[in-house]
Structure 1
Amino acid sequence: MMPYEESGRPAEKHAGPVIKRGKQYDVTTTDQRLLDTAGPTDWVHTDPWRVLRIQAEFIEGFGALAELGPAISVFGSARTLPDDPYYELAVDLGKRLVGADYAVITGGGPGIMEAANKGAHEAGGTSVGLGIELPFEQGINDYVDLAINFRYFFARKTMFVKYAQGFVVFPGGYGTLDELFEAMTLVQTHKVTAFPIILVGTSYWKGLVDWLRDTLVADKKISAVDIDLLTITDELDEVMSALAKAEALRHAAGRE
């Protein structure tokens, strides 16, 4: 039966900013539900509780990375094997980034992520892995010195951008493309500035860049200058040069 006040109006209950009436009205209190351990446990999977988990992920990420210093996020396929030339190139990049006083941030998994972390670790730098909970568990690779595991992709992706001065992207699949296009969108819309996006592997990325130019630009879905958001190379010297140029622009603009 729907509860009513003596005045005949539907009873209502205030739970913080939420007002409950009619069928939504309940007679228990927040303290009661907190202290009464009996009852179902499915509350831990409800949307309000997820908000707290999301908040906690941001707090943990911000707290762990706040004093990281300059860093570069490196992306690429988890399926790249150690005998792949791109694996060795990513190891070399990790070492070079440490030599340029950057920390290295990856997704913490195998493949290119492991290679970049390995290079940073062996060079004595800061090797960071931002893992993600997946149905097919990958775990954090052995070369990560500072690891954070996330439940939510969007919280993790914020950390990749917020604490990095640029992206270096090796050949990869959907996850790599997701990070790549997120970064391109943020730079295109000026959400982040002086933020280089460097693609390693000209033969691998050529088809994508040609499609962007021949389809999206030709159909006026993006501007021709949007292609210039990308630096495409096979040479790590060019990668480091692009990062140094962006660093100089940040200093000139007073964004050290």
Structure 2
Amino acid sequence: MACNSAGGASASRVLLMKRRHHPGNKIEIGAGGSGRRNRVAMLSPRAFSADLTLELSQRSSPDQVKKEVQSCYELIQKLGRGAIYLGSSRVKDDHPHYLQAVELARDIARLLECTTWTGAGPGLMDAAIKGALEANKPVGGFKIAKESGEWSSSNFHPYLPSESYLTCRFFSARKHGLVDAAVRNEPSDMTVVVAFPGGIGTLDEVFEILALIQLDRIGSKLPVPFLLMNYDSFYSKLLEFFHDCEKWGAVAEGEIASLWRVCNGNGEALEYLANFYSIPQSKRIIW
């Protein structure tokens, strides 16, 4: 059975509908097929702009993000700023890094007497929560429904009270919350960002906070200490990459090192924080 070539070409032109700017300062809605173009409609720039404005006005996500960010700020105001922990959601509770994370979060909560903030997920985020609870200090979180490595989604934390965390629909709101929880506006504010070993999500958050500190856009009047926990040389290859960046001129020499403190163990991290905040020896924990 022979095909109708004219009908096929017409169908192709319909499928290949596209907008083009017409030389006459009009926007042409045209169709192309077999090297030919059919004029379907002509829209003036004003009409096209009105159509685009209507389309944008129907998008609700900007308002929803704004409301969710505001909810994050309200939770921080209620629980207080403090120590923010980033880390893998996949690490099991019998892993050495998990046990180290529990101990560090416990000791930092006691040393700084602050709220512990995480993404309220499993893995090393859960380790930080457990450590803070051992210290009997407040815990807050910005959860997402499904972390990497999880098989199902849930808006609820398995054991934290619902008033201590917020389940975020938008990553941008979650990131705003984690950053704002670290802001220092008064000398008495003692906060810290701690990066445990982690994968793509952890590195995404680490690099974003690094960039905010580098560009002085973190929104803090006072410096915020940032600790990179290099357990078992986990981040050593990343540090080598930064060294290569310096050699190639992509970053200034010593620039990355000035933005954070690389710690190979918990004792080193606690000593650095105690010195950073000039905590008296009588109040320092034996670690």
Q: Tell me whether the two structures share a fold, i.e. TM-score over 0.5.
A: yes
TM-score, normalization by structure 1: 0.74
Name 2:132's counterpart in structure 1.
120
What letter corresponds to residue 63 of structure 1 in structure 2? E
- SS of the residue 1:218 aligns to: helix
Aligned-pair distance for 1:230? 2.6
- SS of the residue 2:255 aligns to: helix
- SS of the residue 2:206 aligns to: helix
Aligned-pair distance for 1:66? 1.0
- SS of the residue 1:168 aligns to: strand
Q: How does 1:90-239 map to 2 (within 5 A)?
A: 90-100=101-111, 101-134=113-146, 136-137=152-153, 140-142=156-158, 144-145=160-161, 146-164=164-182, 165-192=191-218, 193-200=222-229, 201=231, 203-214=233-244, 216-228=245-257, 229-239=259-269
CA distance in 1, matches of 2:228, 2:155: 26
CA distance in 2, matches of 1:79, 1:70: 26
Is the counterpart of residue 52 in structure 1 residue 52 in structure 2? no
CA contact (8 A) 1:128 1:147 kept: yes
Deviations 1:9-57 (A, max 9, x none): xxxxxxxxxxx969959xxxxxxxxxxxxxxxxx9x942x212211210
CA contact (8 A) 1:73 1:104 kept: yes
**Number of residue pairs matched by the alignment:** 210
User: Comparing 172-181 with 129-138, which one deviates more in the overlay?
Assistant: 129-138
CA distance in 1, matches of 2:154, 2:130: 16
Rg: which structure is higher?
2
Q: Which runs of 5+ in 2 are unaligned?
A: 1-45, 183-190, 280-287
CA distance in 2, matches of 1:143, 1:134: 16
CA distance in 1, matches of 2:137, 2:214: 31
CA contact (8 A) 2:79 2:140 kept: no
Name 1:240's counterpart in structure 2.
270
TM-score, normalization by structure 2: 0.66
Aligned-pair distance for 1:211? 0.7
What letter corresponds to residue 194 of structure 1 in structure 2? P
Q: Which runs of 5+ in 1 are unaligned?
A: 1-19, 26-42, 250-256
Aligned-pair distance for 1:197? 1.7
Deviations 1:158-210 (A, max 9, x none): 11111122211111000100111111111111224512221112511000001
CA distance in 2, matches of 1:182, 1:134: 21
- SS of the residue 1:242 aligns to: helix
What letter corresponds to residue 102 of structure 2 in structure 1? V
RMSD: 2.6
CA distance in 2, matches of 1:99, 1:218: 41
CA distance in 2, matches of 1:157, 1:208: 22
CA contact (8 A) 2:72 2:142 kept: no
CA distance in 2, matches of 1:22, 1:59: 34
Aligned sequence identity (%):
28
User: Comparing 163-172 with 232-241, which one deviates more in the overlay?
Assistant: 232-241
Name 1:76's counterpart in structure 2.
87
What letter corresponds to residue 240 of structure 1 in structure 2? L
CA contact (8 A) 2:145 2:167 kept: yes
Change (3 A) 1:143 1:71: farther
CA distance in 2, matches of 1:246, 1:78: 29
Change (3 A) 1:85 1:183: same
CA contact (8 A) 2:228 2:262 kept: yes
